[in-house]
Structure 1
Amino acid sequence: MIVGILKEIKLEENRVCMTPAGVEVMKMNGHKVLVEKKAGIGGGFTDEAYIAAGAELIESPKEVYERSDMVMHVKEPLPSEYGLLRKGQIIFTYLHLAADEVLTRAMIKSGCIGIAYETIQKADRSLPLLTPMSEVAGRMAIQEGAKYLEMHHGGQGVLLGGVPGVDPATVVVIGGGVVGTNAAKMACGLGAKVYLLDSNLDRLRYLSDVMPANCFTLMSTPATIRKLIKEAHLVIGAVLIPGAKAPRLVTNDMIREMKKGSVLVDVAIDQGG
């Protein structure tokens, strides 16, 4: 198979879908790998590293699409690429089609074969390609939330962990999956008072056993969210339904009840929010 590695063109996307080490493995298994010039620069991988691993360097995305049986991205194809999609070609990337009707229709029209990273499941229903990114996103959500709680970013000037004589911040994490669990761990580690909400009671029992003492697990209901959001300094949206649009659990009315200068980070926004 001829596999094409494309440079990301989405704004502020610095990742690359395959490292030089991945190219080497693909070559060992009999595949030919085409890599668009400067595809790995944002991730710290030079063109020379890809060539040394056995890839052929390609000047333009058009040529990568034309010559490849399968093209790989990190993020979904953008409108400038719709005309390059062709019948029978495999598009292997994060697609998030549930939240993007225009892209969905463009792919159907092209006749390409779309395989979304985020929908690939193992026998135990875990998501091996989504989980690593979810771990990163959950931890970064707390870092970003803490940053925007600083006064010069418009926040309340609240430290997540507080200081002696001052209460810690209240963090509400909606969703007890990979993103939510990692977010809660980070917030707990910084000393915040954390409420972790989920609608699965078995999951809550497990989380109650493994999370630190400053993490309080609660059943997720509209009433619970409505109550806690008024107290929260930082709210993390971390709900995902694989292959479907993420539900909207926080309403505009709830947001209006939040404290001035509090922060909301919705990790699931690209899947519907």
Structure 2
Amino acid sequence: MKKLLGVLIFMLACTAGAHAAEGGFHLEKAPARVNDLPALQNGAKLFVNYCLNCHAASSMRYNRLKDIGLTDEQIKENLLFTGGKVGDMMTIAMSAKEAKEWFGAAPPDLSVIARAKSVNAGPSGADYLYTYLRTFYRDESRPTGWNNLVFPNVGMPHVLWQQQGPRELTTIAMHKSEGEHGWERVTTTYDVNGVATVKHEPVTGYHGHETMETRFTTKDPAKAAAYESDVADLVAFMTWMAEPVQQQRVRLGVWVLIFLAFFTVITWRLNAVYWKNVK
């Protein structure tokens, strides 16, 4: 028993460590659109136009998109730009060797990225992707000119920046300093061109802990609102793509549980009838 408890404690500790390793920036809840066919179709269009240039989805065939309401003709006309066949895999022309030479590392395959980024008993992969795609900001110090709050110093540029529109990022960090006050507030503002302005302020009488606040200021609210909706659709599509049979699996599981419950009642009554005359 003690050994079993020790194993359970060890597993919980490992899980907590994994959560801490994944932690950092708070992940926001992604809108639930995985059952919304128009949203999935828009997400598929965005994925093919903006993601499939560098990232492959080699576990997915184009004809599987018929499951989200598209026809073969619609797939050919709107999603197949290389003259391929509807039954082809969603691959890219760039090889892994070329990607490594050009970018330093091959962009990951996105077939199951939504499942890969999930944390047991924690945020879902959809939450990760939703927050990640909404927290890019201009940073002139980076080679690509972009940075990300969820994935600091990410090598990927913000490919959807024109859809989102210009915006500024302000971070306010409270941390310990070596000065006489012991604490200082550091306010950093990245303007629309990625130029950072840093302001240091000593803080007296502070008895809290180190904190970090972030705030985005958009310069085009209408564009930003449309981008938010598009990101929700794109994440919904990647979530669906990671497990296209998810809804069928859930429905089948419900029917299995109903059957087991019904069969349990029958078995219980048969058992009672069988043993009622046994002394």
Q: TM-score range by the shorter chain?
A: under 0.3
Q: Looking at secondary structure, tell me which structure has more helix per residue.
A: 2
Q: TM-score, normalised by structure 1?
A: 0.24
Higher-RCO chain (CA-CA 8 Å, sequence separation at least 6): 2
Q: TM-score, normalised by structure 2?
A: 0.24
